[in-house]
Structure 1
Amino acid sequence: MIRNLRAPLAVTAAVLALAACSSGGTTAGTVTSGSASAPQGDGTLTLGTVLPQTGSLAYLGPPMFGGVDLARKEINEAGGVLGKPVAKFDTDSGDTTTNIASQSVDKLLTQKVDAIVGAASSSVSESIIDKITRAKVVQFSPANTSDKFTTIKDDGLYFRTAPPDKLQGRVLGDLVVADGNDTIGILAMQDSYGSGLADQVTKTAEEGGGKVVERVDYDPKAADFSADVAKIKAANPKGIVLIGFEETSKVVQELVKQGLTSDRHKWYMVDGNMSNTNFVKAPKGTLDGVKGTLPGAEAPGAFQERLLQVNPEITEYTYAAESYDAVTLLALAAEAAKSDAGPAIAGKLVEVSKGGTKCTGFKECVDLVRAGTDIDYDGVSGPVDFNDVGDPSVATIGVYQYGANNKFNAAKAIEYRRGNIDG
């Protein structure tokens, strides 16, 4: 069954800074110029993907590959980039338990890619970013949300269409407290994604009057989660926040086994485990009333239909729009730079994302670029509008709720725009 994902019913505006203050090094979006070793490009925009075909986020692979493939198809149908079709090589990112991503990057670099789309996992991206940026190749993730990437040293070659975790963490923390949970338990996978998001949820919830009475950062590859859940049970919180990937289905089983069911304690999930496929084997009603958050804007029905023309077997749409926009922005930046070289593309990504004539879709936007017009690409995932460190400065966080069938639909969306607080 195809879910109707990301259809916000209400929008609340808020102001928030997306760029954390930093010192030293070169951070995302700030391109180092004048390098004698900077590649010149060969006239063909060649993309590589490092996206999950296996591992704990494999369920996100089809929508992300679908978004990439749809964008490339539409770009090439519009005449390609720099007069040539966009080339592409796909590889697997695996997860943090393997070395697959590093091997994939090695393969892509031998294939002379100009930009790499991926990874989905923040921890996986952390493990490969140095190798990619040292090669003067752009890394563009549709799904990395770790706050670390805002200030990571990358020679200005790292970008993302997904907003940082501090946004999702703030929305989720506010949601938990607003639902009347003055005591909160957190079960978070122990990595940069899980621990970072748990930190922000804790900060926001406690600023709002809640109290995190127990937090467990667990090994996602553990064979058994009974001891972790027992710690939460001993604290008896009203609300339980689950931050993880596909192993959450096992955590849910243990919660139910120990009597911490969603009708007795309010459960909350995040983008890493919000899925309509991971819980299909759970008894009906297991997730009834469970809420969660997903970064990103609406993925319209028309976009979903176009995706299904590329891959009719897609049933998940999470990060499909962000993947589509990543490829489209890379193509537009290459046109604006009149070069397929990684540093040249990176130097134009901020420019094509904001401040000029608004346009949507590659064909409309590239015609303006070729006419010498400064453009502002508005994507399927939202306005994007990169700030100086490669983060989207306009972001939407969707709030979703599961029904008795263990599937979820949108409840509302909360939009954030960069304000005057940059500390």
Structure 2
Amino acid sequence: MIPRSPVAPRIAKLTALGVGVAFLATACGGTSTPSSTETTTAAASGAIACPAPAAGAPAPEIPAAGTVPASTTTTETPLKIGSLLPSTGSLAFLGPPEIAGVNLAIKDINDAGGVLGKPVEVSHLDSGDTTTDVATQSVTNLLGQGVSAIIGAASSGVSKTVINQITGAGVVQFSPANTSLDFTTWDDKGLYWRTAPSDLLQGSVLGNYAVSCGAQTMGMIVLNDSYGTGLAKTVKSSFEGAGGKIVAEQLFNTGDTQFNTQVDAIVAAKPDAIGVITFDEGKSIIPLLLGKGIKPEQLFLVDGNLKDYSKDFAAGTMTGAHGTLPGTSAGDAFKKSLLAIDPSLTDYSYAGESWDATNLVALAAEAAKSTKGVDIAAQLQAVSKDGEKCFSFGQCVTLIREGKDIDYDGQSGPVTFADSGDPSEATIGVYEYSADNKYKLVKEEFGKL
């Protein structure tokens, strides 16, 4: 297996990303621009008429591992994995499914005999958000425990505060949910990885889908951090590239609680569609928009706020609103397995990416015959490509122990890492809200980055 080079050709990779997304942008949401008749009708009425649903296939079910051969190499130092995932802060709703995904993977790994003859150990600590120093304290604690890899953070902004601390210690940082473009070119010593695709892909899908729904103009309310502004930039590029126009863009900062000024400015521009690029602040912003006469079908949400609003809003509030989320839709069997870990789950966002990240760390440790972070990182790309396809830890580790190269694909879809540590191919789900204020899959867009 060929290890990933610690110093990657960053400029060449970024160029390749742009080419891949440009190709996908012409293919999503039916035709790239609506007909003049469709556009005039939608704009005049304020209504959005999106293409008919065409849902993709769910992620593969977890295959039975069968009899897993014992490792021929044993370690005196067991693999220790930490998680840095949100139980507080503006992304706290993402914590439960991500933590459940990690715990399910740990259970599967240990049921299959663990890594290098020892059970894997896991420690969960809170990431908080960028308004606190919780993440730094948690990372210090995890590094003190001797972890080889940290799964997290969910927030790109939080990851920026700790990435140098983690990678500088020779530990793998593996995020299931970071989408900021900045990490593609970060000087991470080959130790930062993610199973979520960069916002080049999600922004392209969202912008093009809004145009395919008949929107000619769009306003955006945007969280002023690397996640929000980066995603807004790609949404704008794809929306305007497909013939639309951004007529208003309003920023707010993490920790803000009043959004009337931003909402009033957006509504005054009379856009056909509104991109709500926020985290949990969406719970405050959405009612303000609807109270000003905006219809729910004019709203286009993103992964940071695509959530179950059934306990937040009156029934019917979100009917027809849209949103995007990286990754494939969780299959029923995977959801059942997650619920066995955490029966209180109502959201499954990034659970698959968290399960995959944990499995990949464990498989890379087996391939490296080492539990050291730098050795694990050197094998992460190799276990994701150019080998025999496999879809679970038990199935994949059996092949490794038989001396075979593997190509792991998981619940988030094909992984196949680029030199940057980014997935080089990914799926973005497009969702729509029903009268119960819960979102359902409309279609899936697959793209290579």
Same fold (TM over 0.5): yes
Shift of 1:303: 0.7
Aligned with 2:363: secondary structure?
helix
Q: Which amino acid aligns with 2:303?
A: D
CA distance in structure 1 between the partners assigned to 2:170 and 2:254 by the alignment: 33
Match of 2:356 among 320, 325, 335: 325
- CA-to-partner distance for each residue in 1:216-238, whole Å, 9 max, x for gaps? 11124222110010110111111
Aligned counterparts of 1:380 and 1:315: Cα–Cα separation in 2: 18
Within-5 A mapping of 1:194-343: 194-262=228-296, 266-277=298-309, 280-343=311-374
CA contact (8 A) 2:194 2:423 kept: yes
Alpha-carbon separation, structure 1, partners of 2:112 and 2:125: 26
Deviations along 1:193-236, one digit per CA (max 9) or x if unpaired, are 01100000001111111000000111242221100101101111
1:170 maps to amino acid: S
Match of 2:137 in 1: 103
What is the CA distance between 1:44 and its match in structure 2?
1.0
Pick from 438, 442, 447: which aligns with 1:407? 438
Contact 1:383/1:394, CA 8 A, preserved across alignment:
yes
Deviations, residues 44-96 of structure 1 (Å, cap 9, x unaligned): 11000000011111111110010000000110011100100001111000001
Is the Cα contact below 8 Å between 2:221 and 2:277 reproduced in 1?
A: yes
Q: Hey, what's the Cα distance between the residues in 2 that align with 1:18 and 1:72? A: 36
2:178 is aligned to 144
1:189 correspondence with 2:223:
yes
Rounded to whole Å, the distance in 2 between the matches of 1:262 and 1:314 is 26
Q: Secondary structure at the match of 2:141?
A: helix
Give the secondary structure class of the aligned counterpart of 1:20. Answer: helix
Query: Does structure 2 retain, via aligned residues, the 8 Å contact 1:220–1:244?
Result: no
How far apart, CA to CA, are the structure 2 residues paired with 1:88 and 1:276? 28
Counterpart CA distance in 1 for 2:146 and 2:331 is 34
Report if aligned partners of 2:100, 2:342 keep a CA contact under 8 Å in 1.
Answer: yes
Where in structure 2 are the equivalents of 1:330-369 lying within 5 Å?
Answer: 330-369=361-400
Shift of 1:331: 0.3
The answer as to 2:146 corresponding to 1:112 is: yes
| Deviation of 1:180 (Å) | 1.3
Structure 2: gaps of 5 or more residues: 1-10, 17-74
SS of aligned partner of 1:255: helix
1:262, distance to aligned residue in structure 2 (A): 2.2
**What TM-score, normalized to structure 2?**
0.83
Verify: 1:88 aligned to 2:122, yes or no. yes
Distance 1:18 1:353 in 2: 21
Q: Which amino acid aligns with 1:193?
A: Y
RMSD of aligned Cα (Å): 1.5
Q: How many residue pairs end up in the alignment?
A: 381
Give the match's secondary structure for 1:101.
helix
Instruction: State yes or no: 1:377 paired with 2:408.
Output: yes
Q: Give the counterpart of 1:162 among 168, 178, 196.
A: 196
Matching residue's letter, 1:20: L
Shift of 1:42: 5.3
Matched, 1:177 2:211: yes
Q: CA deviation at 1:259?
A: 2.3
Write out the 4+ residue segments of structure 1 that deviate beyond 4 Å after TM superposition.
none
Counterpart Cα distance in 2 of 1:369 and 1:20: 32
Secondary structure of 2:283's partner? helix
Distance 1:316 1:81 in 2: 30
> Hey, what's the Cα distance between the residues in 1 that align with 2:171 and 2:308?
35
Asked if the contact 2:329/2:441 (under 8 Å) is kept, the reply is: no
Does the 8 Å CA contact 2:223/2:277 hold for their aligned counterparts?
A: yes
- Give the whole-Å Cα distance in 1 for the aligned partners of 2:114 and 2:208: 44
Q: Distance in 2 between matches of 1:258 and 1:162?
A: 35
Q: TM-score, normalised by structure 1?
A: 0.88
What is aligned with 2:14?
20
Change (3 A) 1:208 1:167: same
Structure 1 pair 42–200 and aligned structure 2 pair: CA distance change class (3 A): farther
2:308 aligned partner, one-letter code = N
What is the identity, as a one-letter code, of the residue corresponding to 1:393?
S
Cα pair 2:130 2:254 within 8 Å, conserved? no
